[in-house]
Structure 1
Amino acid sequence: MTPPLESQPRLVTLEGGEGAGKSTVLAALRAELERDAPVTCTREPGGTPLAERIRSLLLDASHEAPCVQSELLLMFAARAQLVCHVVRPALERGDWVLSDRFTDASYAYQGGGRGFDMQAIALLEREFVGIEPGLTLLLDVPVDVGLARARGRGGMDRIESEQEAFFERVREAYLARARSRPQRFVVIDASQPAADVAAAAVAALRAYRSRLA
C-alpha cells in the first residue's frame, strides 16, 4: 500500500491561474525568508535541465498538442525529476523551498480544466511525488482580469491560449482544493495592486512561520 503524503513544513508553494502575479509574490517571499534562512526557489513544470525540456514540450504551441493523458504524465515526469533532484535535497539541507506551482496545479489544470479523474491524479501524486507543501498560497484572480494581464505580456504559450471556459474550470478547481484543505491553503485576492498582493502573501508566510515556532 502506498504511504500517505509527507507534509513538508518548509515547502511553500504558489498557485493560481494565468496573470495572478506569482513571480512578483515569489520574489517578495524569497526576500522575506532570506533575512534568516537559506532558500531554494524553483518552478513547475521545470526546475532541472530535463524538467525544463519537458516544459518546452508541454508549452510550445508549435508542437503536436498532447492528449490529456500525455499532458498529465509529462507534468508528473517533470515534477518527479524536480522533487528528486531539487526539492528533497534542499529540504534535507534545511532550506526553505519556494515553488511556483506544485501538484495542486495538476488537480486544477488537468483535473478541473481538462476533466481528468482526480483519483488518478491522487494516485500519481502518492506514487511519484510523495510530499505535499506545508503552506500553499493561492493567488485568486477573476479569469478575465488574469487573462488580460497575461495577454498584455505577449507571447502566449499553448496552455495560456486556452479558452476562457477552461480557465474558469481551473479557477473553481483551485478554490475547491482550498476549501477542502483550509489547514494548508491561504487564498489571497490577486486582483489587488501587485504591492498589496505581495504584502498579503508575506503576512501569510509570517503567520505560518510563527505557528511553526
Structure 2
Amino acid sequence: MWRSFRARFLPQAVAHVRAGGHAVVVDPTGLAEALLPVDGQGMVTDLGLWALLAIGQQHWERVTAGEAEGLARAVIEESNVSSVLDWCERDGVHEGATRKLQLNCTACAACCHDGDVVLTERDLARFREAGRPDLAGRGFVRRSREGKRTLRMAPGGRCKLLAEDRLCTVYKLRPDNCRAFLMGSEACLAAREETLGLRDGAPLG
C-alpha cells in the first residue's frame, strides 16, 4: 500500500517499504521520490514497476547507501505527484504495509474497456495460426497513421472480443498485452474506478 512521508520521516518510510509497502517521500521543496521494494534479483517488484508505468515513468535506481540502501527509488515528475498522493489517500483507510484484495477478473473485466491494447506481430501470427485470420483484419484491428495496431472497441467502449457475461471470447488467443496485465496493479485499480466506479480503498467522492 502507498503511504506519503515528509523527508524527516525517512526511517518510517523505509520501514514501510521493507515491510512490503510503497512510499512517496516529499522534501521541503516539494520534490517527491518514490521508494519501492525489490525482489530477490534486486529488481523492482511487479507492482512497483506497474505503478511507475501507470504514471508514464520507467527510470528507477537502487539506493546504494544510507537508511534506504538496497531499495529502489524513482524521482516522481511534478506532473505526476498528485496522482501518487491520490494513491496514498486511497490506501490510507487501511492499516499496515500490505493488504489483500478480493478481485475476480471474470466478474470485473474493467481492463477490457481499455481502448489502447497494442497488438504485436506475434499476436497477429497467433490469430492466423489458430485459424482466426479475421481477428487480424479490419473488423477487429485499428491501425493508426503511425502504423500502431490496436484492438477495436465496441460501442460503449468495451472490447469487441468481450462477451456479455464479461468473459473473453478468445481467451487462449488473447494479445500479449492482455496476458501481461497485472491484477491488482495501479492500472487495474484505475480501470475498476473509471469503468465500474469502484475505488478499492477510500470511497469515491
TM over 0.5: no
Which structure exhibits the higher relative contact order, with contacts defined as CA atoms closer than 8 Å and separated by 6 or more residues?
Answer: 1
Q: Is the radius of gyration larger for structure 1 or structure 2?
A: 2
TM-score by length of 1: 0.22
Instruction: Please identify which structure carries the higher helix content.
Output: 1
